[in-house]
Amino acid sequence: MTTPDRILVTRSSMPPFEEYVEEIRGLWDSHWLTNMGEKHEALEAALKDYLGVPDIALFVNGHSALECVLEAMQLHGKVITTPYTFASTTHAIVRKGLEPVFCDVRPDDYTMDASLIESLIDEDTCAIMPVHVYGNLCDNDAIEEIAHKHGLKVIYDAAHAFGVRKNGVSAATFGDASMFSFHATKVFNTIEGGAVCFADPKLKELLNQWKNFGITGLETVEYVGGNAKMNEFAAAMGLCNLRHLDEEIAKRKLVAERYWERLEGAPGVRLSLPKADVSPNYAYMPVVFEDEFGATRNEVREALLAQNVYSRKYFYPLTSDFECYAGRFDSSKTPVAAHAAQRVLTLPMYADLALADVDRICDTVLATSRA
């Protein structure tokens, strides 16, 4: 019996090889490979236009971008966030000497439950860091109203939400700042990379200084900064990928719609469908398997693996349950997030995933049901 072709949970989008070669050709003339060169500046301008934001700063990765914006805003105290996220969100807060306070999520889209935020605010709270999970947008209106009332900063972890719009407005414009990841697995990638979008003009210079060792002049270093600059090769990849982004999202849409067509309505299967006012980017395909399905998330994962299909328990465990935070947080205080983390499986999702392969994946998933 032949083994089916391997299907990974994601696959990086790449431009035509010749297009990338042409984009980087001039680097052999200039020898300017990093430190905010021509490609870096061109990508900043192109992204500023695409995202419709007042300003943007590029970084070597999204995590460094998140740490740098926390530094630049000079925050101290507690940050209300969610444990239903990737390690980076919580780690950035802790690594900058801040204390994460975990808010539960909504059961329909796994984003921060804004109705719970005010009960978590105290005199030490300095900011709210919501997460646009799987590209699902937070209730930004409610969150920002609460933040304004209490004088708090709002920094969105928008790693999953590149290109997503709500009522035609770019998610990159929400809050005081929005961080994006341009990791190879994202809808838009620069191989590795990230960005912070913001409106405050004072932030631009600070962010550029923090990501360059805190250097403020030829002979002055005023901050204990890091090295988080995006190099020219990464920026060139971003310039190429941005040209093809709308086409990539359109292909992802076809894949997502096939999944929804096959899985929606199956007993015990809970999908994360985009809201009517949101233009999604189809970043991920999360499925929550409830008890009614009759098979556990882990059993579904094993069944897929037997067919050479790779899926991911994303997010599991909650960041509040990480070993490095043992004894520090109580995940029973975020029961909706804990429920989802025990049952979620993200299925393969990328632009070039064949619909026949989506059908094979769905057939395998549905065959495990004992409903």
In this structure, are residues 188 and 163 in contact, taking their beta carbons and an 8 Å threshold?
Answer: yes
Tens of pLDDT, residue by residue over 96-105, are: 999 999 999 9
Give the relative orientation of helices 232-243 and 245-263 as an angle to the nearest 10 degrees.
60
What whole-number distance in Å separates Cα of residue 124 and Cα of residue 76?
A: 8
Residues 177, 197 contacting (CB under 8 angstroms): yes
Asked, for residue 132, whether it belongs to a domain, the answer is yes
- The mean pLDDT value for 89-118 works out to 98
- How long, in residues, is the chain? 371
What pLDDT, on a 0 to 100 scale, did the predictor assign at position 3? 66
Both 273 and 234 in one domain: the answer is no
Same domain, 135 and 172: yes
Nearest to 230 by CA among 221, 239, 222, 243: 239
Alpha helical stretches, state H, 137-193: 140-150
Tens-place pLDDT, residues 14-28: 999 999 999 999 999
Yes or no: say if 229 and 35 are a contact pair by the CB < 8 Å rule: yes
Total count of domains within the chain: 2
Inside any domain, residue 9: no
Q: How far is CA 188 from CA 34, 134, 346, in A?
A: 21, 14, 19
pLDDT of residue 129: 98
Q: How many CB atoms lie within 10 A of CB 80?
A: 26
Judge if 185 and 257 occupy the same domain.
Answer: no
Distance between CA 74 and CA 152 in Å, rounded? 13
Domain containing 298: what range? 245-367
Q: Which of 198, 215, 243 is the last residue of a domain?
A: 243
199-203 long-range Cβ contacts below 8 angstroms, 24+ apart: 199/53, 199/54, 199/55, 199/173, 200/176, 201/54, 201/55, 203/55, 203/57, 203/69, 203/72, 203/73, 203/177
Are residue 164 and residue 257 in the same domain, yes or no? no
Residue 298 lies in a domain: yes
* Residue 371's pLDDT band (cuts 50, 70, 90): confident
- pLDDT per residue over 306-330, tens digit each? 999 999 999 999 999 999 999 999 9
212 and 185 in one domain?
yes
* 130 within a domain of the structure (yes/no): yes
Residues 190 and 338 in one domain: no
Q: Are residues 279 and 221 in the same domain?
A: no
Q: Across residues 209-217, what is the average pLDDT?
A: 95
What mean pLDDT do residues 63-73 have?
97
- pLDDT computed for residue 4 by the predictor: 77
Establish if 320 belongs to a structural domain.
yes
Cα 339 off chain centre by: 21
- CATH, residue 95: 3.40.640.10
Q: What is the CATH number of the domain that holds 352?
A: 3.90.1150.10
